[in-house]
Structure 1
């Protein structure tokens, strides 16, 4: 067991009790992307009291904390802070009942249905252990609380607002995410671990008319329906079965009344890919098909394409992942395993890609071990409420401890122990 994890108190100790309280508080007070004012203040005040050099409002609401502890590598630890515009349906006594206005001024329910409240809590706990046990490590720890992951803008906004003179350049960037999986386990993977994600809004333009006189219209509803069906053939007929890809049309909106042919229809779609060439091909195919269907309908205007969000591949550095996985195996034994790539997407890699710094991202199981084992035995793991489900709720223990152990274990692979330890 590494020295930083040895410094972590047991489950009944003051630190974990404190962190459980923090977690429940954050869970009850979720904030939408780029609006994480309260969450950022909670995190910033906490690490500032521990002795970190703290900079607030980096990339709107981001927080950067730096703790220098002699000569050695610089390790950056990152946690995302934002919640989702959805209602929670977990039945927990600390469930969110928050409503807030989104970027369009529409009031929405808000819930931490992706687990970012757990991520923030983990990083706050790791910050305290690092600050209170400097004899166990040597170097510089930089903790980053990032906004806006759910809309793919938070990492970029922080990078664009980065103070290169004040903040040291990291030698390694580390991050983790709570996922469906037996709580107490940690899943790592060299290379691609998360897919690239692209979300588009496509406006298809027709010509409106009375429903009884379709010959005077160019019907965008028919155009949208044909486009929707044809887009599904990209994965089924144009992408090799050896390449993983997903195309989902989550929204098709047109018209207001049954006897009015509208002027336009709007599609919103999401693409997930695990290879850059496949990604580029799919995006080009989407435009080709939309334009072709528009032409086939004799539309007077070509489609309009708007990028809603863009996430690069999360592709772990092989050598750095090997260093982390060796530490995980020593710490967790057979509860550390090599995970399969997930079709979820993250903007975590923006930091490493922008600065040309190696990064490692891994998964922490958040499902009650008994429930997970039962579901696995029945081959019904897909029925467990996953991230972004209104019923998603990580079991606090041992998820809280495991995430702390994982973050400190990975950090120790670079920073510790110090010569004095």
Structure 2
């Protein structure tokens, strides 16, 4: 996830099964009608999951520590994918590698029923870790075209452990459900291109389109808690890149130049008026500039200045307004200085908002409330974060994307009282507490999947 946070039954889970086998689909639909949501006893199932985790958990923390200590960047996650493939094959899944370059698809067939997709991310971030953990990453990539540290500071390591743990738990509980598990390990979520790469590589054409999809994300909240909502759960994310062309010269003779740094600086300030004066104050929208690159010496006015940033929104109309406002402001900034028309790239490599299926959200939320009680929290507003899981939603997979907490609740309460900084996703010191985070992820994801799987007939 790029970073920041989040009882109706639906027979649509069996739509694809019905298309493949009308009689089976009719039988399953009648089963749902007779027994809404097949009355999953969430408390009893959670108790079973906890018993399995009491025995299996060390295996998942070992996996977490391994991937944490050996992170890989997007579309380069070969060792990470190999490790996950080994785990899934040991569980009896049929694993296909190299989907979307470095992604995995692991299939487990357990009789007639729906196909349920569960996704994890594989990639880490190009930054240096400062957690001080005994198993902290010290991976440092150096070559002619890059020099960067690599670290799992978004929580994908937690996700992978919970993903594998959920797969193992569902296999051990296979006598209680029927259907097909489609566990996918997606590359390059941080680049915003991994989900689409898997789709472009024929993910659904080759393995079948799932009836429902699930994904989770850990965040800087109290561990043991789960967070969910219907509708939009993340933001639209659009990349922003503007290159202002000027006319370089001596810093002591600015009248003989067109200063691109001054133009770019004016743009950085003026573009915020799009937020404060053109957007509805009640609607979420952000334009942030994260990179400003220009010049090589203090006494030289350069020929160009490059800006890179991000545009965030929830509403499609707000998104269009922000994109238009950024473009107009960039053109006006250059025109005011008599500079050439700038190079403007907007919306590339972005992600649309993840939209949770309303019926699935209500159905799964009810199970979470039963199993977790007050620790299951319905969110009111979408997160400011972005997430390319939205590509699967856009491809027609009814989905449920939810959050889990990862930080010690007592420390979190104290930090909020004292004003101590709380590490968030993408912070160099973001380090969810492994055991309660992974266990909650396995519990919640197992419940979510079993709630849409029919029991044996």
Distance 1:18 1:52, change over 3 A: same
Distance 1:43 1:213, change over 3 A: same
1:398 aligns with 2:436: yes
Range with bigger deviation, 132-141 or 406-415: 132-141
8 Å Cα contact 2:241/2:345 also seen in 1:
yes
Post-superposition offset of 1:39? 0.7
Distance 1:160 1:148, change over 3 A: same
C-alpha distance in 2 between matches for 1:252 and 1:333? 47
Q: 2:65 aligns with which of 14, 20, 24?
A: 24
**Equivalent residue for 2:137?**
96
SS in 1 for 2:388: coil
SS in 2 for 1:84: coil
Alignment of 1:31-110 (within 5 A): 31-101=72-142, 105-110=145-150
TM-score normalised by length of structure 1: 0.95
1:133 aligns with 2:168: no
8 Å Cα contact 1:201/1:308 also seen in 2:
no
Q: 1:325 aligns with which of 336, 340, 365?
A: 365
1:184 aligns with 2:184: no
Distance 1:188 1:216, change over 3 A: same
Q: 1:292 aligns with which of 302, 322, 332?
A: 332
8 Å Cα contact 1:349/1:359 also seen in 2:
no
Q: Which runs of 5+ in 1 are unaligned?
A: none
SS in 1 for 2:252: coil
C-alpha distance in 1 between matches for 2:262 and 2:205? 56
1:351 aligns with 2:392: yes
C-alpha distance in 2 between matches for 1:301 and 1:322? 50
Q: How many residues are treated as equivalent by the alignment?
A: 415
Post-superposition offset of 1:192? 1.2
Post-superposition offset of 1:207? 0.8
**Equivalent residue for 2:56?**
15
Alignment of 1:199-278 (within 5 A): 199-278=239-318
C-alpha distance in 1 between matches for 2:286 and 2:431? 26
C-alpha distance in 2 between matches for 1:300 and 1:341? 39
TM-score normalised by length of structure 2: 0.87
Post-superposition offset of 1:183? 0.3
8 Å Cα contact 1:9/1:16 also seen in 2:
no
SS in 1 for 2:49: coil
**Equivalent residue for 1:116?**
156
C-alpha distance in 2 between matches for 1:299 and 1:365? 49
8 Å Cα contact 1:73/1:139 also seen in 2:
yes
Q: Deviations over 1:107-136 (max 9, x none)?
A: 210110000011111111111122233102
Range with bigger deviation, 116-125 or 8-17: 8-17
C-alpha distance in 1 between matches for 2:437 and 2:93? 26
8 Å Cα contact 1:4/1:137 also seen in 2:
no
**Equivalent residue for 2:12?**
none
1:384 aligns with 2:425: no
Distance 1:44 1:400, change over 3 A: same
Distance 1:127 1:61, change over 3 A: same
Q: 2:187 aligns with which of 141, 147, 170?
A: 147
C-alpha distance in 2 between matches for 1:417 and 1:334? 28
Post-superposition offset of 1:372? 2.0
C-alpha distance in 1 between matches for 2:149 and 2:252? 40
**Equivalent residue for 1:303?**
343
C-alpha distance in 1 between matches for 2:418 and 2:446? 33
8 Å Cα contact 1:201/1:307 also seen in 2:
no
Post-superposition offset of 1:70? 1.0
Aligned-pair Cα RMSD in Å: 1.7
**Equivalent residue for 1:369?**
409
Q: Which runs of 5+ in 2 are unaligned?
A: 1-40
Post-superposition offset of 1:212? 2.1
Post-superposition offset of 1:306? 5.9
C-alpha distance in 1 between matches for 2:247 and 2:204? 53
8 Å Cα contact 1:245/1:272 also seen in 2:
yes
